[in-house]
């Protein structure tokens, strides 16, 4: 994000996703939606988006195929585990605008994609990589009187770590116990992004005052790696995003707004899917009505016997049974779908109100940030570094924290 100081800083984020998140990520990245909550997306610009790796199928389908082909392993993985990751690489819009815009952005993110391959551990684990060129930077566009676009890169991948499977004591050949049986690529978000020891300029571990190793958060490692790769690629006019600066706090409110936008898009996407499913069932019923028979034809089935009973051929009897089963099944499915659609519509209404409330609550902050970014930054720095105020009641209830085994940056 631009801070108004003329310095262009790299930004790299890693989003962790479960099975329930991946469809919405795909719909956003691949521009599969008919409409978006984010009003800055310009559909006419979507053809300018650039795929550095185009998905061969849906994200989930590709994952299942890789598992089937033993490219990856989900052995021991929980059903609700975070199986997918998304790297989002970014530099402020002014950087690309000052370097000519679209063509420069394409070259920059071509090199950024090469960095992503190294960070992920191989291109085979990347499902999709696309540069978005269709999101308009409203603030810059309004200020300059011309359209300025926010170029950024989405890389969806599967987090894997190499794992050796050793032969157990049950191995018939006891001389092989403890030796490597096979090496797999284990899907594991936590192990892929585990904290690492911080090193000094001599590559020696940094220790705290108590002699404990200082740990470096995976987010910080990702920022370091991306910045280093881009510098090595020849982009000498970018700087690393600052560690622990107020810039991170300045973007928190905007991030929350974006999160609410994404949540609302997800709910609306689910509603659209349920409506489409409902429409398919209705179409199926209409087809069945046309193909099966008219009311007259159904009424004419069977012959009345002397005893007053109705006799019919086995074929007609089976036909009526099948028709009745289909009717009952369709009626139940339609009822369930209508209930789910109503529930999702209520959820969407709730989240929309929350989103609008959040926008209203942050309106003054966003206006101040746009008009006087430096003063807002200085104010936040003062507040963030000031000693927190405590009430008498909270002081009396303070409990010493448990000692940790390491520190994190």
Please give, one letter per residue, the 3-state secondary structure of 162-183.
Answer: EEEEECCCCCCCHHHCCCEEEE
Highest mean pLDDT among 152-166, 276-290, 389-403: 152-166
If we measure between CA atoms, which residue out of 189, 191, 183 comes closest to residue 162? 183
Mean pLDDT, residues 279-286 taken together: 70
Mean pLDDT, residues 152-170 taken together: 88
pLDDT in tens, 359-383: 788 878 778 777 777 777 777 666 6
Q: Which of 16-20, 121-125, 264-268 has the lowest mean pLDDT?
A: 264-268
| Structure token pair of residue 226 | 């991306």
| Structure token pair of residue 376 | 């807002």
Mean pLDDT, residues 215-238 taken together: 83
Model confidence at 123, in pLDDT bands (50, 70, 90)?
Answer: very high
The yes/no answer on whether domain 9-243 falls in CATH 3.40.50.1580 is no
Model confidence at 247, in pLDDT bands (50, 70, 90)?
Answer: very low
Whole-prediction pTM value? 0.58
Q: What's the pLDDT score for residue 131?
A: 96
pLDDT of 39 above 80: yes
Q: What's the pLDDT score for residue 361?
A: 80
Mean pLDDT, residues 115-122 taken together: 92
DSSP 47: G
Residues 404 and 84: their CA atoms lie apart, in Å, by: 30
Strands (E), 223-365: 239-240, 303-304, 310-311
If we measure between CA atoms, which residue out of 153, 168, 160 comes closest to residue 184? 160
Residues 114 and 222: their CA atoms lie apart, in Å, by: 14
Model confidence at 55, in pLDDT bands (50, 70, 90)?
Answer: very high
Q: What's the pLDDT score for residue 245?
A: 41
Q: What's the pLDDT score for residue 319?
A: 75
- How long, in residues, is the chain? 409
Residue 82: burial class (beta carbons within 10 Å; 0-12, 13-18, 19+)? buried
Q: What's the pLDDT score for residue 403?
A: 47
More confident residue, 47 or 357: 47
Sorted by where each begins, the domain ranges of the chain are: 9-243, 244-302+313-385
Q: What's the pLDDT score for residue 264?
A: 62
């Amino acid at each position: 994000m631009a801070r108004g100081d003329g310095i262009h800083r790299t930004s790299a984020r890693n989003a962790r996703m479960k099975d329930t998140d991946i469809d919405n990520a795909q719909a956003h990245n691949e521009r599969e939606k008919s409409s978006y909550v984010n009003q800055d997306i310009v559909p006419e610009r979507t053809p300018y988006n650039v795929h550095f790796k185009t998905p061969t199928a849906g994200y989930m389908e590709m994952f299942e195929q890789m598992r089937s082909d033993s490219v990856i392993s989900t052995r021991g993985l929980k059903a609700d585990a975070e199986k997918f990751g998304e790297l989002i690489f970014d530099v402020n819009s002014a950087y690309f605008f000052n370097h000519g815009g679209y063509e420069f952005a394409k070259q920059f993110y071509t090199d950024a994609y090469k960095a992503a391959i190294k960070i992920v551990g191989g291109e085979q684990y990347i499902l999709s990589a696309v540069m978005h060129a269709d999101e308009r930077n409203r603030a810059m566009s309004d200020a300059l009187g011309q359209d300025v676009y926010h170029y950024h890169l989405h890389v969806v991948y599967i987090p894997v770590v190499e794992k050796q499977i050793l032969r157990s004591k049950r191995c018939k050949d006891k001389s092989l116990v403890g030796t490597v049986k096979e090496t797999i690529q284990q899907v594991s978000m936590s192990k892929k992004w585990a904290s690492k020891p911080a090193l000094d300029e001599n590559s020696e571990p940094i220790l705290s005052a108590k002699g404990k190793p200082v740990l470096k958060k995976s987010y910080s490692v990702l920022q370091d790696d991306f910045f280093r790769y881009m510098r090595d690629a020849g982009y000498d006019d970018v700087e690393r995003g600052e560690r622990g600066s107020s810039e991170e706090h300045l973007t928190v409110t905007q991030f929350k707004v974006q999160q609410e936008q994404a949540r609302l898009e997800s709910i609306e996407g689910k509603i659209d899917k349920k409506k489409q499913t409902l429409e398919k069932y209705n179409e199926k019923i209409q087809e069945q009505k046309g193909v099966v028979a008219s009311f007259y034809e159904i009424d004419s089935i069977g012959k009345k016997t002397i005893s007053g009973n109705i006799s019919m051929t086995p074929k007609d009897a089976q036909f009526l049974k099948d028709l009745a089963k289909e009717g009952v099944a369709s009626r139940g499915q339609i009822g369930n779908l209508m209930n789910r659609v109503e529930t999702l519509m209520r959820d969407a209404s709730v989240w929309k109100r929350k989103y609008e409330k959040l926008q209203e609550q942050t309106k003054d902050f966003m206006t101040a940030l746009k008009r006087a970014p430096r003063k807002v930054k200085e104010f936040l720095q003062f507040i963030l570094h000031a000693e927190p105020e405590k009430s008498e009641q909270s002081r009396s209830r303070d409990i010493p924290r448990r000692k940790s085994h390491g520190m994190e940056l």
